[in-house]
Amino acid sequence: MTGQTDSVLTEAALDTALRELIGYSMKRATAMVTADAARVLEPMGLRITTFSALTVICNAPGVRQTELAAALGMERSNSVAVIDTLEKAHWITRERSARDRRAIALQPTTAGIMRQKQARLALLTHEDRMFAGLSQIERRELVKLLSRIRA
Amino acid sequence: MTGQTDSVLTEAALDTALRELIGYSMKRATAMVTADAARVLEPMGLRITTFSALTVICNAPGVRQTELAAALGMERSNSVAVIDTLEKAHWITRERSARDRRAIALQPTTAGIMRQKQARLALLTHEDRMFAGLSQIERRELVKLLSRIRA
DNA sequence: TGATATTTGTTATGCCGTATAACTATTATT
DNA sequence: AATAATAGTTATACGGCATAACAAATATCA
């Protein structure tokens, strides 16, 4: 006995009606990918947010917290805890800016740079597995289409 | 004075390095789209989750809570509050199944069906605005690419 | 048939991401 | 010099999501 036939539609993925909404497909697919990414990062002591922040800091040493938050599309206030985490792990340092003593310049440490490289490779490997069904061209096409969505 | 040149990379979107990760682009784009969808639904007393559940129930009347949760990729436990909300708004009813008294069949009310249709149209309209930069073919292409991502 | 396992809906709880308001120290404006 | 704006910070709250535990009902199988 397979059970469940209270419903009218005997089969056919129950969320078919939702699939006409692009946002729904995006959300489901993204949930899969990010959950996977989180799993990859976790053993390295990173979360998606902290990895993203670390990456920006490694690629733009001296960046300010406000710039960082804006780059990642997060609130300044929420970036504080993320940066705290990175600092406590000794992957970055906070340095008060000389010419604007309100601002703080974020600098990656050697350990931070190493950890970022390691995590980046792990993520690339994992994405390669996750997007194995898509060719390189299709992956680029996907990213390109996503980049053309505008609020 | 434009300010900020503590950083080395003078310009060039601070998150460029993250853009090599497809998941990052997916997450940012999805955040935009879902935030927008939430804004559309809010005046109708719906959130994305409740709208999704209502839609499934309207398209598969009699569906069980467990089936619903599975269809939406959420935990059974988390579906309870969502269904509570829909029930309190009188958009659905819970009916104990006769042949399995553990199970509950979810039925949409007339008001629920109307609200779903209204919300669906509002979302379609809004998606049309949000994906205006993509042709119909490109939108289908995007969804198709997303559907081919596998865990 | 009767003991045991499984399933359904449910409650409780906690974590993460996110949003807003308010505060301070500092800098910019006028 | 007075006022406004900005950078970082704290506190707080909400929504999404995950896990564990439980009662009631059903399924399994010795």
Q: In a 3-state reduction of DSSP, which class is residue B104?
A: strand
Strands (E), B80-148: 92-96, 104-108
Structure tokens at B138: 């490109």
Residue B31 with chain A: CB contacts under 8 Å: 73
The residue type found at B138 is: E
Query: Which pLDDT band holds residue A5 (cuts at 50, 70, 90)?
Result: very low
Q: Which bases of chain D are contacted by protein, using any atom under 7 A from a CB?
A: 6-11, 15-21, 24-28
Structural contact between residues A56 and A107, judged by C-beta atoms closer than 8 angstroms: no
Going by pLDDT thresholds of 50, 70 and 90, the confidence category of residue A11 is low
Chain A residues lying within 8 Å of B100, measured CB to CB = 3
Percent of chain A with pLDDT over 70: 93
pLDDT tens, residue by residue, A118-145: 999 999 999 999 999 999 999 999 999 9
Query: What residue of A is the nearest CA neighbor of B49?
Result: A24
Interface of A with B in 33-72 (CB under 8 A): 33-37, 48, 52, 55-56, 58-64, 67-68, 70-72
- What pLDDT band is residue B5 in, cutting at 50, 70 and 90? very low
pLDDT tens column, B69-107: 999 999 999 999 999 999 999 999 999 999 999 999 999
Task: Summarize pLDDT for A43-86 with one digit per residue, the tens.
Answer: 999 999 999 999 999 999 999 999 999 999 999 999 999 999 99
Structural domains present in chain A? 20-129 (1.10.10.10)
Using CA atoms, how far residue A130 sits from A21, A52, B11, B112, B133, in Å, is: 23, 19, 32, 38, 27
Q: Which of B21, B94, B95 to mutate to test the interface with A (most CBs of A within 10 A)?
A: B21
CA-to-CA separations, A133 to B18, B27, B29, in angstroms, rounded: 22, 19, 21
How do residues B86-96 score in pLDDT, each as one tens digit?
A: 999 999 999 99
With CB atoms and an 8 Å threshold, state whether B33 touches A19: no
**Percent above pLDDT 90 for chain B:** 89
